[in-house]
Amino acid sequence: MYKASVIISVYKNTSFLKAVLDSLKLQTERNFEIIISEDGCHETMKNFVAAYAFEHDYQHTTQEDLGWRKNKALNNAVRHARSEWLIFVDGDCVLHPRFVEMHLRYAEENTILSGRRVKLDESTSAYLMNNTPQSVLKMPAVLWKKLLFGKGAIINIEESFYFNPRSILGFIRALRTTKYLRGCNMSFSKKAIYAINGFDESFVLPAEGEDTDLLWRFLAAGFRLKSVRSVAIQYHLFHVPTWNDNDENKKKVQAKMERNEYFCKQGLIAQE
C-alpha cells in the first residue's frame, strides 16, 4: 500500500511537467505513487509520459479535450488512486525535496492540509527548469540570496523558505496559519473528498472559485483546515496567466453556500 498518491494536474506543457517529475525523484519520502491527471488526451503528453524515466509507480489518466474540465479530470484521478492520502499539485509547481514527507507528517483523517507557493520570475524559473533536478537542491540558497539582495519580480518569496519542524525554528509553521485552500498545494484523505462528492464538475472556468468552493464544502462537512506553510514548499514556474474573470465562479459558490449544497451534484458519484 502506498502512503500517498501525488496527483499532478496537467494540460499540454510537458517541459513544465518534466521539472515537476524530476523534483519527485528527490523526495525524502519514497513510498508514493504518481498520477498524471491530464485534462485532455494529447499525443505529445502520451509520448512524453511513455518515454520518461519514472522512479515511482505511476498512472496517466486522460479524458477527451472539450475545454477546461480540470475538476472532472481530478475526480477521475481520485477514482484511480491506490492510497488513502491524496496530495494535489499543479503541473507547473516544482516541489521541495521534503514536500511529500511534510504532507504525510501532518496528515490526519479529518484534516485538510493547505500550503502556498512562491511564484518565480522568468529568469529564476528558467534556471530551475534548465538544471533539474540539481537546481531544486540549490533553490533555497538562490532564493535567500534574492531576498537579501533584491527579489526582482518574484511573488510571495517568503513562501519558499523551509523550516524544519524539529529545529529551533520549528514553531514558525504553527504561526503561519491559513484561511485558504490552494489546489496546487493541498492534501486530504480519500474519505474526505468522497464525503463532499469530490470536485464540482459544474465549474468549467479556470479561476479561483473552484478552490473556494472546495474549502467551504469541506468545512461544512465537518473537516478542519490546517496549514503546511513553511514545510510543504513548492516553486511555481513562470508563465503568462490564463485565468478568466472570477465573477461567474464566485456567484456559483455563493449560490451553493446559500443552499448549503456541500455534497455537490456533479462529482465523484452522479446525482439525479
pLDDT single digits (tens) 199-248: 999 887 776 667 888 999 999 999 999 999 999 999 999 987 766 556 77
pLDDT, position 67: 87
pLDDT beyond 80 at 13: yes
In a domain, 63, yes or no: yes
In a domain, 209, yes or no: yes
The predicted model gives 109-122 an average pLDDT of: 96
Sequence-distant (6+) residues with CB within 8 A of 238 are 119, 120, 121, 122, 124, 125, 126
Domain encompassing residue 22: 4-258
CA-CA distance, 272 to 81, in Å (whole number)?
A: 25
pLDDT, position 129: 92
Would you state the cell numbers that stand for residue 153, as one nine-digit string? 519580480
The predicted model gives 136-147 an average pLDDT of: 94
Give the angle 43-49-51 at the CA atoms, nearest 5°: 100
pLDDT, position 68: 87
pLDDT beyond 90 at 63: yes
In a domain, 57, yes or no: yes
Q: What is the CATH number of the domain that holds 26?
A: 3.90.550.10
In a domain, 136, yes or no: yes
pLDDT, position 207: 63
Tell me the percentage of the chain whose pLDDT exceeds 90: 76
Give the angle 120-111-171 at the CA atoms, nearest 5°: 60
Q: Which of 30-34, 57-61, 78-82, 240-244 has the lowest mean pLDDT?
A: 240-244
End-to-end CA distance of the chain: 34
In a domain, 217, yes or no: yes
In a domain, 272, yes or no: no
Whole-model pTM over 0.85: yes
pLDDT beyond 70 at 58: yes
In a domain, 165, yes or no: yes
Report the 10 Å Cβ neighbour count for 62: 17
Residue with cell 519514497: 30
Q: Structurally, how many domains does the chain consist of?
A: 1
The predicted model gives 261-267 an average pLDDT of: 91
If DSSP codes are grouped into helix, strand and coil, which group holds residue 34?
strand
Phi, psi of 148 (to 5 degrees): -75, -35
pLDDT, position 26: 97
pLDDT, position 1: 84
Mean pLDDT of the chain: 92
In a domain, 269, yes or no: no
Closest of 172, 163, 219 to residue 192, by C-alpha: 219
The predicted model gives 19-29 an average pLDDT of: 97
